[in-house]
């Protein structure tokens, strides 16, 4: 087979590939990141690239997603275009991914009383054996551990036992035992010479669909030492969990997904360790929280059945494994705890969130909404917990819309429209490249408030607004004209974008409404509603209520909690009680499967309106 040389611009990455490889695949091989929302199905149009040297032919499928001008200028869809020539390819700015503003975790404090960490270091000064006290070495260690932490049986792995005799005798019977709480009791994890109790680190990992965040925690003090985040590398195989599950179902797809997330975590850990001058070997535990699919990917479990009715995961409660069993580079005998899920679409991230917000400890009814590609909702108190999940689609994360993008540099995140004038703010105050979720919500609110669109989301075609373009088949509204933008093209919101966003907000709201109805509550009975998710950072709450995404509750009852999943994972590093709570939450929380819940479809249809077909649900909204 012929080989061709491919060069990716502007960063000048080169790679040689076999004939017939797609451009997207070549980019992966060259370690060049190209957006890819649909998992290579050729339907999202986010992977367009410009062939500037050599010949490549755009597939028929791509035509609908590219303008005539783009096709003339050599634009193709990377995922659909096979290579039959040496090529130079320019990746346009909108197809590139850059570091976004990643939420790296808020509070969720562990009280002193609950501070029995997952992994403890215990310094032991053992009495030397005598003929009257010649119990075995391991029993000598266990006896002292029982005295110090009062527990009756300690398992020990073979590697540790093999080294024990020598370690005790060459260190004058002074050693530090690392003891880990495992799913069925305590276990010795390692024995180190002398007193190393001052070095006991753990990592909390938020394994998000879009971003991965690692926090380094000093287990003894409970302090967060450092944090590092990045886009989830799996995104190159599909933006949302569904496309990734489809990818994973292909031959050898699953190990690729697992490797992607594991390498991703390893890179973040390495960065932090280098910066803090800490040996990765001194990290004795990792706690990971993610949705059910991400948790499956992390552990290499097959997620195929999650995607299909009746939505069955391989596991909800995951075994505690050695970090090295999945390839995570902390101490090879360190433990990896993956927080338990409730169901296929309610994962360990929401369990961690419910725990860290204290919902399961509260005498009053509280709620948590975690908005991402899925909207996950939990409501309850210390007596009961109910949750559900609805597919919100990628609109709030910048997918499924013409100029949508993640909340990274150049994304329009705030919009105001007054008398035909549009004012906007971008992330990093850069020239605009597109619109992120919070900007889109603002847009819709401003468009409806100004009468440019109606409550049905359709443009008022007679408004005469200069920014409203009716020339294309789909009407669109210019938020930032070409001359202001980084891409040199108009940044617009189209009628079909608005339609998508209304569907997304409708799904989230319908899910909240169904869950509240299911319990037999009114919104007024919810004392506090926590809103979480990377998204939540940039969300204008009053506008989110005004478009009918969030329920019309008093503003002071709605609380931002940032990355509640990461906070929960960190708490589980620091407190056995927190981990126990997560297990209880995952076991006791009732999942309402909305696809099986008849009123959901009616509620969803009723919510496809701004703010809602039933105005009485949004009494404070005036437009």
What residues make contact with a second copy under the rule CB under 8 A? Answer: 129-139, 153, 155-158, 161-166, 169, 183-185, 299-302, 304-305, 309-317, 319, 321, 325-326, 343-344, 593, 595-596
C-alpha distance from residue 290 to each of 94, 385, 423 (Å): 28, 19, 37
- Cβ of residue 566: shortest distance to a second copy, in angstroms? 24
Q: Whose Cβ is closer to a second copy: residue 99's or residue 133's?
A: 133
Strand order in the sheet with 476-480: 468-469, 476-480, 491-494
CB-based contact 62:49 (threshold 8 Å): no
Residues 6+ apart with CB under 8 A from 450: 417, 418
Structure tokens that stand for 406 in this block? 């993640």
Q: Which two tokens stand for residue 276?
A: 């803090």
Alpha-carbon span 583 to 163, nearest angstrom:
34
CA triple 572-109-352, angle to 5 deg:
40
- Tell which residue, 485, 475, 471, 474, has the closest CA to residue 435: 485
Q: Which is nearer to a second copy, 252 or 462 (CB)?
A: 252
Smallest distance, Å, CB 299 to a second copy? 7
Tell me the closest approach of the beta carbon of residue 136 to a second copy, in angstroms: 5
Q: Which two tokens stand for residue 554?
A: 């008093």
Phi-psi region at 87: left, alpha or beta (left = phi > 0; alpha = psi -120 to 50): beta
If the CB atoms of residues 9 and 138 are measured against a second copy, the closer one turns out to be 138
Residue in the structure block whose two tokens are 């099986």: 596
Tell me how far apart the terminal alpha carbons of the chain are, to the nearest angstrom. 64
Closest CB to a second copy among residues 169, 194: 169
Nearer to a second copy by Cβ, of 186 and 618: the residue is: 186
Q: What Å distances lie between residue 126 and 123, 148, 246, 521, CA to CA? A: 10, 12, 56, 60
Least Cβ distance, residue 568 to a second copy (angstroms): 20
Q: How far is the CB of 260 from a second copy (least distance, A)?
A: 17
The CA angle 267-272-277, to the nearest 5 degrees, is 125
Strands 13-18, 201-207: parallel, antiparallel or unpaired by DSSP?
Answer: unpaired
Closest distance between a second copy and the C-beta of residue 160, in Å? 9
> Whole-angstrom Cα distance, residue 376 to residue 512?
9
Q: How does DSSP assign 101-129, residue by residue?
A: --------PPPGGG---SEEEEEEEPPPP
Query: Toward a second copy, which CB reaches closer, 144 or 413?
Result: 144
For residue 596, the minimal CB distance to a second copy (Å) is 5
Rounded Cα distance, 573 and 16, in Å: 45
CB of residue 593 to a second copy, shortest distance in Å: 6
Residue 293 beta carbon to a second copy: minimum distance, rounded to whole angstroms? 13
- Between 124 and 544, CB nearer to a second copy: 124
* Residue 553 CB, nearest approach to a second copy (Å): 32
Q: Which residues have CB under 8 Å from 162's CB, separation 6+?
A: none
> Please, which residue, 316 or 397, has the CB nearer to a second copy?
316
- CA gap 245, 306 in Å, rounded: 9
Tokens encoding 251: 């031959």
Report the alpha-carbon distance of residue 505 to residue 607 in Å, rounded: 8
| Shorter beta-carbon distance to a second copy: residue 292 or 476 | 292
Q: Which is nearer to a second copy, 254 or 567 (CB)?
A: 254
Residue 216 or 262: the one with the smaller Cβ distance to a second copy is: 262
In the complex with a second copy, the residue whose CB is nearer, 52 or 249, is: 249
CB of 311 to a second copy, least distance (A): 6
Cβ 20 to a second copy, closest distance in Å?
Answer: 29
| Residues 201/207, Cβ–Cβ less than 8 Å | no
């Amino acid at each position: 087979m012929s080989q061709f040389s491919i060069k990716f611009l502007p960063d000048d990455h080169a790679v040689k590939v076999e004939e017939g490889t797609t451009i997207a695949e070549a980019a992966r091989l060259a370690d060049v990141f190209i957006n890819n929302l649909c998992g290579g199905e050729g339907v999202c149009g986010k992977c367009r690239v410009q062939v500037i040297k050599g010949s490549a032919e755009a597939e028929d499928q791509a035509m609908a997603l590219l303008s005539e001008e783009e096709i003339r200028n050599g634009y193709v869809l990377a995922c659909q275009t096979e290579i039959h020539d040496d090529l130079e390819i320019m990746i346009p700015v909108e197809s590139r991914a850059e570091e976004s503003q990643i939420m790296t975790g808020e509070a969720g404090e562990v009280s002193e009383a609950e501070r029995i960490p997952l992994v403890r270091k215990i310094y032991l000064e053992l009495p030397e054996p005598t003929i009257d006290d010649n119990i075995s070495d391991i029993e000598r260690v266990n006896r002292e551990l029982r005295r110090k932490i009062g527990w009756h049986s300690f398992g020990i792995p073979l590697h540790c036992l093999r080294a024990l005799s020598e370690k005790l005798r060459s260190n004058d019977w002074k050693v530090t035992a690392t003891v880990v709480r495992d799913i069925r009791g305590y276990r010795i994890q390692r024995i180190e010479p002398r007193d190393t109790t001052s070095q006991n680190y753990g990592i909390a990992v938020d394994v998000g669909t879009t971003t991965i965040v690692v926090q380094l925690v000093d287990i003894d003090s409970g302090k967060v030492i450092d944090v590092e985040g990045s886009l989830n590398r799996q995104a190159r195989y599909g933006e949302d969990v569904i496309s990734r599950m489809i990818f994973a179902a292909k031959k050898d797809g699953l190990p690729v997904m697992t490797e992607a997330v594991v390498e991703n975590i390893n890179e973040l850990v390495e960065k932090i360790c280098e910066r803090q001058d800490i040996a990765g070997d001194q990290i004795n535990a990792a706690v990971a929280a993610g949705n059910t699919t991400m948790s499956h990917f992390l552990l290499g479990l097959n997620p195929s059945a999650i995607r299909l009715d009746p939505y069955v995961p391989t596991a909800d409660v995951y075994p505690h494994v050695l970090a090295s069993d999945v390839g995570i580079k902390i101490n090879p005998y360190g433990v990896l705890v993956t927080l338990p899920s409730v169901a296929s679409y309610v994962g360990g991230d929401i369990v961690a969130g419910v725990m860290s917000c204290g919902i399961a400890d509260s005498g009053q009814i509280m709620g948590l909404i975690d908005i991402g590609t899925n909207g996950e909702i939990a409501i309850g108190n210390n007596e009961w917990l109910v949750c559900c999940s609805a597919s919100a689609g990628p609109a709030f994360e910048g997918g499924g819309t013409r100029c949508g993008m993640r909340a990274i540099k150049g994304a329009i995140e705030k919009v105001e429209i007054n008398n035909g004038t549009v004012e906007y703010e971008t992330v990093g105050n850069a020239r605009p490249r597109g619109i992120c979720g919070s900007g889109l919500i603002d847009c819709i609110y401003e468009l409806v408030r100004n009468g440019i669109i109606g409550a049905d989301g359709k443009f008022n075609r007679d408004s005469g607004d200069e920014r409203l373009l009716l020339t294309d088949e789909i009407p669109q509204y210019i938020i930032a004209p070409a001359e202001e933008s980084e891409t040199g093209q108009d940044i617009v919101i189209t009628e079909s974008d608005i339609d998508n966003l209304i569907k997304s907000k409708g799904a989230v709201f319908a899910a909240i409404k169904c869950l509240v109805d299911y319990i037999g509550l009114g919104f007024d009975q919810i004392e506090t509603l926590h809103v979480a998710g990377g998204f939540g950072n940039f969300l204008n709450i009053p506008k989110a209520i005004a478009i009918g995404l969030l329920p019309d509750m008093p503003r002071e009852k709605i609380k931002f909690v940032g990355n509640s999943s990461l906070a929960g994972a960190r708490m589980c590093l620091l407190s056995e009680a927190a981990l126990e709570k997560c297990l209880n939450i995952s076991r006791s929380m009732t999942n309402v499967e909305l696809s099986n819940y008849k009123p959901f479809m009616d509620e969803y249809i009723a919510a496809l309106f701004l703010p809602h077909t039933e105005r009485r649900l949004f009494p404070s909204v005036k437009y």
